[in-house]
Amino acid sequence: MYSKYFGFSDLPFTIAPDPRYLYLSAQHREALASLLYGINSNGGFVLLTGDVGTGKTTVCRCLLEQLPDSAEVAFILNPKYSITELLEAICDELKIPYQHSRSQIKGYIDALNAHLLAAHARGVNTVLIIDEAQNLSLEVLEQVRLLTNLETSSQKLLQIILIGQPELLDKLARPELRQLNQRITARYHLNALSRTELGAYVSHRLAVGGSEAPLFTRAALWRLQRLTGGVPRMVNIICDRALLGAFVERRNKVGWGVLGRAAREVRGQQAATTSRWRLALLSVALLGLLLGLVFWNPGGSGLLASLLPTGPAEVQASAVAASAPVAPAAQEEPEPALLAVDEVLVEEPVVAAPPHEPPSSPANWQWPDGTDLGATEPLAYQALFRLWGVEYNPSGAPVVCQFARLHKLGCLLQPVDLDELLKLNLPAVINLFNAAGQSFFATLIGVEPRAGLAHLTIAGELRTVELTELRSWLQQHQLVLWRMPPDYQAPLRPEARSALVPWLDAQLAWLQGRTPRATRGEHYDQELQLQVLAFQHHYQLVTDAVVGPQTLIQLSSLTDADIPQLTATEPAGE
């Protein structure tokens, strides 16, 4: 329903285990590497556990995509079987003929053993994957262990992967299953997403869905983490409902309130009741703090009178005075106030700083009460698009990343620290705050690494900051634009077919000084995957052979001279 409104090519928060949407956080990469290691080892069990909704099945689906063609897989999704039923299900998955028997399992074992020996002779590895393995009885688990006894003199014939919830760990720890537990050669436990990982996860799914716009405010992401605990399945359900709510209300972003209403609709009255109790507890705590100030400070009644003014104007003035820190004498001179900006923004000329002006700190960039600091965000986007040679009018194109795509630019939301942002070497819209707690946006336009300086624009003003100061006052909410290759729709994954493949081969060929392969076609084959892996390893990217925004940004910075950069990149080959 909301796909067209937000520019999605696909619904981004489906709960189906689609490997395209797998967000490879650090722990998901470790889990995938652990499974691959276990499969490549000689026999034994591989164990993957995690709480409900943490992405176990999706990791497993991604694993299946990376298995070689020489592997055959039996995937058991519903393991609430007796021993006989499980053996029949395995034979059915591997297309092994058998004669049904309710009391004798020898016929199934003999048929399976003959099939495994024949597959081994053809150079085929057989993998058995059992999902929801915590539902297996102790007797069935013991029979599964016995299947690993099918072997040649030098090699196990069957590799088994068990996937389950934490209860599986308790079951395997029982004394009667110690032999199975000792045969586990690789194991990994998936936890919920951290606050930083959750922001990156949401951005990743939006990008794969075709939007890449920062459709969730920072406050909404904070509330999402608190409501879901970082469990991906709950994140997907609530985000899907929140986007629908934003569509119904004709909003271009999901804010705190929209997300809260979506959570209440998904979770029933639990979320609302919890929020009311927390609000009540917070009110009691604040009242206790207020009474403490009254009774423990001399002249407490005067303090109480000052904190409880009679008029609305006094309330606002008192709140500002109470929240603003006392600035030292060196900071008393106020910064110039930003211009109030109407719906149609007026382009402000960039005023060059004096050549020897010392850098300043974002802590001291403070503005009078009532200044429209929200206007700094669209002004920052205007300045960013201008670096790419594009004029942006937010009143005519409020959804930034939809506008970017119309000009062959992609959006990348980066909830990371400054060092990770600087690795991209691209101008960015960044979110800062000052010592008074004011939040505002600026455009990072240049960096001098040797001098340790960064150059920013805020509403047309050029400012210079030391990188150490910028790091201290930077909030984890940055957006960069990057040039998308022709026909780019979504990250290119191994063995996929895409019109991006010839372009990718041509770029890598130029860097390597070779001729592009004319007969490659659109298949992202193993040869090209190995070249991408080498490229990712050399430039310290995530080494997964997936050609997404990070890899494309690094590749374009080396092959496209027209891309605006924070610092000059040395030409390839020097």
Calculate the alpha carbon distances from 95 to 91, 151, 167, 426, 534 in Å: 6, 20, 31, 53, 38
Residues 456-469, mean pLDDT to the nearest whole number: 90
Mean pLDDT score across all residues of the chain: 78
The residues, ordered by sequence, that sit 6+ positions from 130 with a Cβ below 8 Å of its Cβ are: 76, 79, 136, 144, 160, 161, 162, 163
Handedness of CA 531, 537, 539, 540 (dihedral sign): positive
If one compares 311 and 156, the residue with the highest pLDDT of the two is 156
| Beta-ladder partners of 481 | 411
Q: Is 573 left (phi over 0), alpha (psi -120 to 50) or beta?
A: left
According to the per-residue pLDDT averaged within each range, which of 320-324, 353-357, 423-427 is highest? Answer: 423-427
Average pLDDT over residues 539-559: 85
pLDDT band of 389, cuts 50, 70, 90? very high
Give residue-wise pLDDT tens across range 43-96: 678 889 988 888 887 788 778 777 777 788 888 887 788 888 889 999 999 999
pLDDT at res. 283: 55
Those residues with Cβ within 8 angstroms of residue 254's Cβ, 6 or more apart along the chain or in another chain: 215, 216, 217, 220, 239, 242, 243, 245, 246, 262
The answer, yes or no, to whether residue 134 has pLDDT greater than 70, is yes
Cα distances from 123 to residues 68, 114, 154, in angstroms, run 11, 14, 14
Q: Report strand pairing: 125-130 vs 158-164.
A: parallel
Per-residue pLDDT, averaged over 460-474, amounts to 90
**Chain segment 178-226, per-residue pLDDT in tens:** 888 888 887 888 888 888 889 888 988 888 888 777 899 988 999 999 9
Give me the mean pLDDT over the 429-453 stretch.
91
Is 430's pLDDT higher than 80?
A: yes
Asked which of 152-166, 326-340, 539-553 is least confident by mean pLDDT, the reply is: 326-340
Per-residue pLDDT at 239? 94
- What is the reported pLDDT for 240? 92
Checking if the pLDDT of 378 tops 70, the result is yes
Portion of the chain with pLDDT greater than 90, in percent: 17
Query: What's phi and psi for 157, nearest 5 deg?
Result: -95, -15
Given this model, what pLDDT does residue 241 score? 93
Residues 31 and 9: their CA atoms lie apart, in Å, by 29
pLDDT band at 573 (very low <50, low <70, confident <90, very high): very low
pLDDT band at 284 (very low <50, low <70, confident <90, very high): low
Place of tokens 């029982």: 174
> Over the stretch 229-275, which tens digit does the pLDDT of each residue have?
898 889 999 999 999 999 898 888 899 999 999 999 887 754 444 44
Residue 141 has pLDDT above 50, yes or no: yes
Residues 492-516: tens digit of each pLDDT: 888 888 888 999 999 998 888 888 8
Provide the percentage of residues in the chain whose pLDDT is more than 70. 80
